[in-house]
Amino acid sequence: MDAFGKPNLIKMNWNDFEASVRETLEIEDDVVIDKNELLENSEYWSSMHALLIMALAESEYEISITGEELRNAKTLQDLYNLFESKQA
């Protein structure tokens, strides 16, 4: 929160989002991330990872996403779009 009680939101950009996801999901820097790959096909995605992404939304971006919204996000690009829309 700032001095006026407004949340200090991190402005969305792809590079920062990707870095946050890499850190949260423990994806090494040398692993190439295809933002259009289906999450369900990724070795880095599971129900536990989904919970970690929900926690990331709350802690770093101060947004809340539902399980249904997360299930509807099929790719990392979809997740980025979801996070960005919640900040609008």
- How far is the C-alpha of 18 from the C-alpha of 77, rounded, in Å? 10
Domain coordinates in residue numbering, the chain: 14-87
10 vs 62, residue with greater confidence: 62
**Dihedrals phi, psi of 51, to nearest 5 degrees:** -65, -40
The answer, yes or no, to whether residue 18 has pLDDT greater than 60, is yes
**Burial class of 4 by CB neighbour count within 10 A (0 to 12, 13 to 18, 19+):** exposed
Kindly report, residue by residue over 64-88, the tens digit of the pLDDT: 999 999 999 999 999 999 999 998 7
Model confidence band, residue 12 (pLDDT cutoffs 50, 70, 90)? confident
Query: Rounded mean pLDDT of the chain?
Result: 89
Please give the CATH superfamily to which domain 14-87 belongs.
Answer: ACP-like (1.10.1200.10)
The model's confidence at residue 4, banded by pLDDT at 50, 70 and 90, is: low
**N- to C-terminal Cα separation, the chain:** 17
Tell the residue number behind the tokens 């709350």, with chain if given: 58
